[in-house]
Amino acid sequence: MCDYNKLKQEVKIIDKYGPANKKLRNPYLLAKGPNNELIVRDYSTKQLVVFDKHLQFSHVIGGAGSGNGKFLRITGIAVDKKGYLYVADSVLHYIQKLKLNGEFTSQLGIDGTAEGQFQSPYGVVLSQSELLFVCDTGNNRIQVFQDGQFSYCFGKHGRKPGTFNTPYDLTLNNREDQLFITDSCNHRVQVFTTKGQFLAVFGDYTGVPFKLQDPVGIHYTPDGHLLISSFSTHCVLVFAEDGKFTSAIEGTYQGKKRFSNPCGVVMMDKGQIVIAGGNQLIVF
């Protein structure tokens, strides 16, 4: 079990990749592959950068373009147990399914507001039973698919519990019976059953010493904690599954700026926590 209160000093900075040491630009999004690969967005090249289990550069996927393995704005990444990538594109308003080597296999959704259509999709996550949950951010709802087909959706725009104002990312707990969603412009995290029944909400009003403001990335760890990036307060907050605040990984420590505007966050198999902040990845 990770002692989050002892995460003081970063152990590694990753800000370049590839043989030419290309600079990472706004990595923003992170996902973990089936063999503990780290999959990262590089905004400037419209590519996914893949690092191996040792966090060494492996290969890139994609590039600028429309469909068939090309991207305009990558805003969500998920990987299934077979190694297929699901990549949301908020400009093209659809999700592409790719092999980990970058080979295009299929496309899901089109621009629109009807069921099965998207307006600027962002976070995506897959269950072990291969349900695909998508933050249909522009439509302020969560859509659920199985085997590439629309299954159901829930949510609408609003401030009341169970409604959304810009849902950005989502994660499942280890039992896969609860879904945690960053409701970014409402500055909170909402908890639902996987069928869309509202369960709970938590945020800065729970007595957290670090304000949860504009939460973006969220990741459920193997030891049962939630890592939540608080974009505007420059920290990653750690919560128990019940919404109780545990600790914070601060962007500035002992006067040293380590990261700002954190977005993606993930825990690797050996317990390293990787945070995308600015134009770099910070490994704790």
Q: What is the DSSP string of the chain?
A: ---GGG--S--EEE-EETTTTEEP-----EEE-TTS-EEEEETTTTEEEEE-TTS-EEEEEE-BSSBTTBBS-EEEEEE-TT--EEEEETTTTEEEEE-TTS-EEEEE--BSSSTT-BSSEEEEEE-TT-EEEEEEGGGTEEEEEETTEEEEEE--BSSSTT-BSSEEEEEE-TTSSEEEEEEGGGTEEEEEETTS-EEEEEEGGG--SS---SEEEEEE-TTSEEEEEEGGGTEEEEEETTS-EEEEEESEETTEE--SSEEEEEE-TTS-EEEEETTEEEE-
* pLDDT(207) > 80: no
Grade residue 203 by pLDDT with cuts at 50, 70 and 90: confident
How confident is the model at residue 6, as a pLDDT? 66
Q: Which of 157, 187, 180, 159 is nearest to 242 (CA)?
A: 180
Grade residue 2 by pLDDT with cuts at 50, 70 and 90: confident
How confident is the model at residue 236, as a pLDDT? 95
Residue corresponding to tokens 């969560």:
142
* pLDDT(81) > 90: no
Grade residue 206 by pLDDT with cuts at 50, 70 and 90: low
How confident is the model at residue 179, as a pLDDT? 98
How confident is the model at residue 255, as a pLDDT? 81
Number of residues that make up the chain: 284
Grade residue 204 by pLDDT with cuts at 50, 70 and 90: low
Grade residue 205 by pLDDT with cuts at 50, 70 and 90: low
| Angle at the Cα of 109 from the Cα atoms of 104 and 190, rounded to 5 degrees | 110
% residues pLDDT > 70 (the chain) = 95
What is the rounded average pLDDT of the residues 134-143?
Answer: 98
% residues pLDDT > 90 (the chain) = 83
Residue corresponding to tokens 């905004």:
43
Per-residue pLDDT reduced to its tens digit, 30-50: 999 999 999 999 999 999 999
Q: Which of 190, 187, 189, 169 is nearest to 263 (CA)?
A: 169
Q: How far apart are CA 228 and CA 223, in angstroms?
A: 15
Residue predicted with more confidence, 92 or 278: 92
What does each C-alpha distance from 36 to 46, 52, 55, 180 come to in angstroms? Answer: 22, 7, 9, 22
**Residue 121: CB partners within 8 Å, gap ≥ 6?**
75, 76, 88, 89, 90, 93, 94, 95, 109, 134, 135, 136, 137, 138
User: 228 has which bridge partners?
Assistant: 218, 237
How confident is the model at residue 210, as a pLDDT? 82
CATH entry, 4-283, from 2.60.120.650, 3.30.70.60, 2.120.10.30, 3.10.110.10: 2.120.10.30
Indicate the average pLDDT of the chain.
93
* pLDDT(117) > 70: yes
Residue predicted with more confidence, 204 or 26: 26
* pLDDT(244) > 70: yes
* pLDDT(56) > 90: yes
* pLDDT(227) > 90: yes
2-11, 78-87, 168-177, range with the lowest pLDDT: 2-11
Return the domain boundaries, the chain: 4-283
